[in-house]
Structure 1
Amino acid sequence: MLATGHDPEQASEYFRGHEDEIKIAAINSSGSVTLFREVDAIVKLSAVLSANGVFNRLLKTGGTAYHSHHMIPLGSDYSKMLAGGLERVMELGLSDERQRYPRISWASSVTPDKGQSDLTVTASYLRVSLESPGRFSKAVLNLVSSESHPIDVLVKIGPHGALKSPLDQIFKSLGKSIPSASSLRRKEDGRISLLHLAGTLFGLNAEIELAYTNAVDEPRGTGLNLVHGCTAIDLPPYQYTYGPIPFSLLLHICLAIVAASEAYYWFPEPLRITGYSLRNVAIKTALKIPEDDYGVDIILSMELVDTATAKLPTWSSFSVSSVVRDSNEWTEHCAGFVKVKPPSPKK
């Protein structure tokens, strides 16, 4: 299989007349598709693309062309094994509806034209996924374009974050900036990858149970016991100068919070604000206030990064800048993101 830096129409130009031999296995974004063909032929196609200055990368799939008709001979056995596994899960009581999280809408890469739905994953659905081209781009577009379910961050549950570039291309085409993270990283211990993911989500203000995240599993009887660390009290002395929080930082944060509040109350039927979240706040230049009668002009710029409503507010980017008297030169002092928190919906 071969990942290429083309849209579907551009990619098809390279195998025109050979449509029976080369097919599209996945549409990842408007500028990224995955092709499949016999191994020797796909290597030759890679050389042609490289000679034409087109980005391409051979995928390490062990010579297996997933999401293609090459999987059809395996489809029947694959479906039977999945069905048997699902039946076994039911027998063990592991599929009890009362133990599941609330069902949410999802965007399928198999049937993306249906938009978001409550589709149930069955053995037949997974077989179709194995044998059909993956329409990742359309599924992500459906997901992040939803007004009823705004997206704060995307997490890829899979082998590695290979689709990060296509995700960035999709976000850029929509004029959005959405952080993404992967549960696993190539050539890295899976436990470390998951800890990185937990840290990333915590940094994005997601609700992460750090007590569980930082614990170690220890077998006890037929189950597992969580073992936590203890405070180290015998570390060697070290020098560190603790300084006060700069007043200008507090000023910038207060400006951002007040502006976010004012913007939120412009929504129809705004709710009571219960708190605020800040992320990626960067202090770039110290704010110097001249000792004269004129002072300094400060301007705060703020912009929503996504569609928002009173019930579902989203992040706003902000920037604090100043200009001194008799000068047209602006200096940016602080930038980051802020979001108001309305009351949590009643369950």
Structure 2
Amino acid sequence: MNREPLVSRIYRIKLVLIAVTFVTVGLLLSVLNDWLESENTAHIIIAITGGLSDVLLVTGAIGIAIDFFTGRDREAADTDRTRRVLQELTPDFADAVIQGFRVNKRDLQRVASPELLDDIATNVLSLRLGDDQFAQEIYTDIRDQAIHTPERWYDVAVNVRLSTAVESGITGGPSLFDVLVEWEYTTTPSHAVARFACVSDRDEFHELIADVPATSTWFMTPRPGYDASDQKSYELVAFSVDGEARKIRRANRRGGQIYSAIIGDEVVRAAKPVRIRHTYRTIADPANHRLFLAIAQPARNVSLEVDYSAANISRMSVTDLMPSSRRPYVSQLPAGSSGKELTVDVSGWVQAGTGFTFVWTLDSEESPLPPSPAPTHAKPAA
């Protein structure tokens, strides 16, 4: 049973009960009036009881008659009046609700479920783009990459140093670059243990990168001089939380290795931002001519600096994979400086999976300048 018929029925029952009460009291007063007349009571009292009896009888009878003959018409009129009022005020109500949600997101959060918020965001994006399917797919990608990520990184600083691989202790075999990478960022940790893995199996690599940010994975193609399970090929050198060094544990496994550092359950429970810093060392093939670094989590304000002063690299450039209208600011030390550095600064948010590829040209690959032709002297005419 819906609400409207029930309310109407209760109203009619109350009206009938009141009318019946009036009629009953009027009849009782009429009987009382007759009795008073028989007892030769004062005329003023008889007149009052008689008049009041007539008023109650007439009022009750008229009320029942009016309800019987006009009840349905009155309900129809009330319904029609309510419908007109709602039609006139609906635009104002809608504008007020939309404006309230626009100004105060807490109101929208209180009444909307995550599924409803997804539908609202998709519809808004569809109106802006004019394409329902495109809006749905774009929003799904944004939601999966940004909303469902457990951590967000702020003020990310990445320092990379490339040098000839004399520090790695690797002698003989192919020439190598020693790569020292330091990450520093502010975040609210979601895991008590940070793990760093180096693997050479692609299937395992894709399984581990799904565990971001708990696990940071480095893939190393197996070939002579590159062994993912060798500490000389990859090593977590340092890990700290708010400047406090954490102990690092290493576990060797077939085709790879894993390093673990304790962030702490108390840090995760506190749910407060901390400054995390970790440094790892790996090797790179100079002949590969590139080094790729990816941002594992959504990050705001990213700065990357590559120092290749100690490597036999003559020139370096960078290619970004940023799906954004904001272009990174790239700068290098001027020619003739004592060092060789390339810096990339990105303001604002950078989505997870965004990468930067650093491409270099070796000193041995630079073509020497051709010698200037010797000057010729024209002979005087005979």
> Which is bigger in relative contact order (C-alpha 8 A, separation at least 6)?
2
Superposition TM-score tier, normalisation by shorter sequence: under 0.3
Rg comparison, structure with higher value? 2
Q: Which has the higher strand share?
A: 2
Calculate the TM-score normalised by the size of structure 1: 0.23
Calculate the TM-score normalised by the size of structure 2: 0.21
